[in-house]
Structure 1
Amino acid sequence: MLLSIGIKALNEQRRIANSIASALQVANKFSGEVILADCASTDQTVQIASSYPIRIVRMAAPEERSCGAGAQLAYQESKGQFFYLMDGDMVLNSDAAERFMEFLNKNPEYAGVGGRTKELVLTTHEFRIRAKSEEMRQCTSSIDVDRLDGGGLYRRAAIESVGYFADQNLKAFEEFELGARLLTNGWKLARLDVTAVEHFGHDVPSYSLLWTRFVSGYACGAGQVFRASIGKATFLRVVKNLAHIKYSLAVCSASLTSAFIAALYPWSGLAFVIAMLGSGIILLSFRRQSLRLGVFSLVAWILGSIAFLRGALWPRQDPFRVIQHEAIATKRTEDLKPMSGTCDR
């Protein structure tokens, strides 16, 4: 089989139909397959998906769900020479996928290739910041990157050379960690100037989403990546290229310095804390070009530094371990109506 498209999802009943339809449109061009890796959803995601001619594998242990586990489960069950990863709230651009296949066929030294992510829900501060970051990426002329955030097309031979697709222990940054392993082993990654997916992110209040990410462990991803790299050839690359680690270490250092000063000189310590917070808000507001986004970023950094320490101490399982799951029965292609393969955007 030439192409496998893996969709990882958790409670995506609102978006999963369009996501699957767009993936099927691409897979059918290459006689490929679509695999939904469901992380034990509690809504109608699986029921909706089961009406499509795809393979559905559902994680057996809900407590093991994570971004890394979902991605690895999809890859674990795939068969294609090339593997495309996307989320259940994304719509895949068919033309971009064809360009990616052409690129990898012409450039054997590249392990993977991706494109831009078009954020369509900008009601939260996080996704506004993501959209601005995506605009900044377009300003660079280099196609070589250190990760394929938002999914991309990977060469199976490259993945097999580094052992596994995604570290199932990771709550986040699983594609960054994969990129670190691939680049350390001599492969390259590319990002083309084309919209790969349209992303329908969360539309809940900004600080509610931030707190949810903290409580769920998603915010611990940077700490988990840091711990996973200790003693590995990827360590220096991870510390150098993952900004969240630098931010977390900076905040932790500032906090320890504040505590030390406060212990010796209480009022001076308080003044130091106020000065640090004020400086942080000014710098981040200037960078984000918004006071509101600056304050949000500072709060995110503080919570992120706490989560970093938590992630660095998070228990790990063997990343080579086979993820237990159950297969879900789906419709056969001949049972479907002609319209079921279309994508209503």
Structure 2
Amino acid sequence: MKLSVILKTLNEEKRIGAAIESVIAALKALPDAESEIIVADSGSRDRTVEIASKYPVVVAQIQAPATASCGVGPQLGFQYSKGEFTCLMDGDMLLDPTFLPEAFDYLDKNPRVAGVSGDINEVNLDNLEFTRRVQRIASQVKHGVRDRLNGGGIYRRVAIEEAGYFSDRNLHAFEEFDLAQRLRLRGWTLYLLDRRYVDHFGHSINSYILLTRRWSTKYLFGTGELLRAAWRQGRLKAVIQENPEMKLWLGVYVWWALLIVFLIGGIFHPAWLSGFAVVLLLPVLVMMLKKKSVSLGLYAIVAWCFHAAALPFGLFAPRRNPTDWIESKLLKP
């Protein structure tokens, strides 16, 4: 058995050394397996590549005209990999030292399982975005057969090749769901083990600054990009059905339309302005009560607005063939 561990990175100088060391330590639990570690870098401007190059790893970095996205990193690493299994992680994650043997035991016993993962332990919870994520995950049935493996996992190469490609370079988000759906449509399944996969450190910056950064990096365009990809590949209905946030964004558009109606009506009938205030504040108050937090409730509404506003930009963004070779250079073979 040969395992390729792909660490996707973009300006991860603070964590990349520890991430690589955690993988090296975890691989010791598979003494009979061949392994390789590939750092797939999306154009870091800090010391990520310099630090990673000090370790026994392969370092590949995108080159123009390729551009950074959540989807480009996994595919970049995959195109240089040789393993029959691929383990995908972010450059700010630490691999649990005992995860690999249990994961491969499950894969060995279940040949039609394309990928397996475990729990993502979010370390930085001072950020509202990651606090919301943890709450959302905790409210769902977590373990067992899943429709996607968020945060990475171990995949069979034969399943990925059957699905066409590992990750869509055009996607700035939802790349893991996109892969999962392509696998499931071909009869493969995905499984989430009831145990830890990685520790994830994530962003520690202000949540609202993170939102604006996600706009500038096009991360928020991912919803529209996914819809466009699914439409071209005949998966649009399935994507909408399996992602309830799509209906949420539609609800945001209706909310905005009502606000505009009441605002315009207020020009001619001042009493309508009270209706405008009610329509504006009601969703905010409902979310504050639901989250049992003023800050989380308000942030949820603002995040919804950012996502809804970004959707058309992703929907009409140009696409490249996701099977094309990603322009890149091996900085450390």
TM above 0.5? yes
Work out whether residues 86 and 154 of structure 2, in 8 Å CA contact, stay in contact via their aligned partners in 1: yes
Of 38-47 and 25-34, more deviation after overlay is shown by: 25-34
Deviations 1:224-274 (CA, angstroms, capped at 9, x unpaired)? 111111143422221122233222121123223433454456457644443
Query: What is the letter of the counterpart of residue 61 of structure 2?
Result: R
In structure 2, the residue matched to 1:238 is: 239
Rounded to whole Å, the distance in 2 between the matches of 1:269 and 1:84 is 57
Structure-1 separation of matches of 2:197 and 2:22: 11
Residue 297 of structure 1 corresponds to 300
Match of 1:335 in 2: none
Query: Is 2:195 the counterpart of 1:194?
Result: yes
Q: 1:177-231 deviations in whole A, cap 9, x for unaligned?
A: 1111111222111111111000011111111111111122111111111111114
Q: Gaps (5+ residues) in structure 1?
A: 331-345
- How many residues end up aligned between the 2 structures? 328
Q: Once the 2 structures are TM-superposed, how far is the Cα of residue 141 of structure 1 from its aligned partner? A: 7.0
Tell whether the 8 Å contact from 1:110 to 1:187 is kept in structure 2 after alignment. Answer: yes
Q: Report if aligned partners of 1:125, 1:293 keep a CA contact under 8 Å in 2.
A: yes
- The 3 A distance-change label for structure 1 pair 270 and 100 is farther
Query: What is the aligned counterpart of 2:72 among 69, 72, 83?
Result: 69
Query: How many angstroms apart in 2 are the aligned matches of 1:183 and 1:308?
Result: 25
- Unmatched tracts of structure 2, length 5 or more: none
Task: Kindly report the root-mean-square deviation, in angstroms, between the aligned alpha carbons of the 2 structures.
Answer: 1.9
Q: Is the 8 A contact 1:113 1:154 kept in 2?
A: yes
Task: For 2:2 and 2:244, locate their aligned partners in 1 and report how far apart those are by CA, in whole Å.
Answer: 35
Closer/same/farther in 2, CA of residues 268 and 165 from structure 1, 3 Å limit: farther
Alignment of 1:23-102 (within 5 A): 23-28=23-28, 29=30, 30-61=33-64, 64-102=67-105
| Aligned twin of 1:340 | none
Given that 2:27 and 2:100 are in contact with CA atoms closer than 8 Å, whether structure 1 keeps it comes out as: no
Match of 1:308 among 282, 293, 311: 311
Contact 1:258 1:269 in 2 (8 A): no
Letter in structure 1 aligned against 2:235: T
Deviation at residue 158 of structure 1 after TM alignment: 0.8
Q: 2:259–2:279: 8 Å Cα contact kept in structure 1?
A: no
Q: How far does residue 277 in structure 1 lie from its aligned partner after superposition?
A: 2.9
Q: CA deviation at 1:328?
A: 1.3
3-state SS in 2 of match to 1:222: helix
Partners of 1:273 and 1:98 lie apart in 2 by 58
- 2:166 partner SS: coil
Q: Which residue of 2 aligns with 1:286?
A: 289
Specify the code of the residue in structure 1 equivalent to 2:283: G
Q: Give 1:175's aligned residue.
A: 176
Query: What percentage of residue pairs aligned between the two structures are identical?
Result: 37
CA distance in 2, matches of 1:236, 1:110: 24
| Residues 101-155 of structure 1 deviation map (CA, whole Å, 9 limit, x = unaligned) | 1111111121111111001111110011122223334xx3751111111111111
* Structure 1 residues 63 and 204: alpha-carbon distance in aligned structure 2, compared to 1, 3 A threshold: farther
Letter of the 1:181 partner, please give it: R
- The amino acid that maps onto 1:128 is T
Correspondence list, 1:77-156, <5 A: 77-137=80-140, 140=141, 143-156=144-157
* 8 Å Cα contact 2:263/2:276 also seen in 1: no
Q: Distance in 2 between matches of 1:306 and 1:157?
A: 38
Aligned counterparts of 1:269 and 1:165: Cα–Cα separation in 2? 52
Asked if residue 15 in structure 1 is aligned to residue 15 in structure 2, the reply is yes
**1:6 aligned residue:** 6
Q: What are the superposed Cα offsets for residues 48-92 of structure 1, whole Å, 9 maximum, x if unpaired?
A: 000101100011127611010011111111111111110000001
Q: Is the 8 A contact 2:103 2:116 kept in 1?
A: yes
Distance (Å, rounded) in 2 between the aligned partners of 1:269 and 1:154: 56
Whole-Å separation in 1 of the counterparts to 2:266 and 2:252: 20
- Alpha carbons 1:222, 1:244 under 8 Å: kept: no
Partner SS for 1:164: coil
Q: Counterpart of 1:343?
A: none
Looking at structure 2, the residues matched to 250 and 329 of structure 1 have their Cα atoms a distance apart, in angstroms, of 48
8 Å Cα contact 1:261-1:268 kept in structure 2: no
Give secondary structure in 2 for the equivalent of 1:153.
strand
Query: 1:274-302 deviations in whole A, cap 9, x for unaligned?
Result: 33332211232233221110000000001
Give distance in 2, aligned partners of 1:170 and 1:147: 16
Q: Is the 8 A contact 1:226 1:245 kept in 2?
A: no
Q: Which moved more, 1:232-241 or 1:194-203?
A: 232-241
For the structure 1 residues 136 and 96, does the alpha-carbon distance in structure 2 shift closer, same or farther, using more than 3 Å as the test?
farther
1:113–1:124: structure 2 CA closer, same or farther, 3 Å change rule?
same
Conserved? CA contact 2:115–2:153, under 8 Å: yes
Query: TM-score, length-normalised on structure 1?
Result: 0.90
Whether the 8 Å CA contact 1:262–1:268 is kept in 2: the answer is no
Q: TM-score, normalised by structure 2?
A: 0.93
